[in-house]
Amino acid sequence: MHLFVVISLVSQGHQPQKVNNMSNIDKDKVIGVLNQILEAELAGVVRYTHYSLLVFGYGRIPIVSWLREQADESLLHAQQVGEWVTTLGAYPSLGIGRLLDSHQHDIGAIMRESLTAEGEALQLYRDLLALVDGKSVALEEFARQMIYTEELHAAEVDKMLRKPGDLSAFASRPV
């Protein structure tokens, strides 16, 4: 509605209505899941940065670069999720999610830990989608986009864990 129409209506005694297109969501549950996601993404920043410091050998440069890109992406996701928390009128968590560390720092162990963490984050985004599906287009689209991004990332990690020439998914094999 244009400003002059609003002013005209108010001057005629009409009160503007607050539009809340997220009134059908369970805000407490949604905020709870968003804060869990925020903590998981912040753990990703720490985890990928830590991993990048532990890579040695001939392939170090591209692997370190990839790990640091993942840390940057986790930070971006954390910022986006935190914005949703404050949009819903809540306080973003200062916690950091579980940090997996097997203390085995070969690239395979790092990638397996990464795949586990990505699976956990993916489930949290799916939980968010279940809470907002059909209730908030914006949050629903955000959750779907993040699920898409996390699934692609998990698929990339899965491919990195395969032996050259092996077409079957790593995640479907016993570890």
Digit-coded pLDDT (tens) for 46-88? 999 999 999 999 999 999 999 999 999 999 999 999 999 999 9
Residue 144 within any structural domain of the chain = yes
Number of helices followed by number of strands (H, E) in the chain: 5, 0
Domain that holds residue 135: 24-161
Place of tokens 């753990």: 43
Domain count, the chain: 1
pLDDT (0 to 100) of residue 1: 47
Question: What's the CA gap between 153 and 159, in Å, rounded?
Answer: 10
pTM of the model: 0.82
Using CB atoms within 10 Å of the CB of residue 109, give its burial: 0 to 12 exposed, 13 to 18 middle, 19+ buried: middle
Residue 127 within any structural domain of the chain = yes
* Beta strands per DSSP E along the chain: none
- Residue 68 sits in a domain of what CATH number? 1.20.1260.10
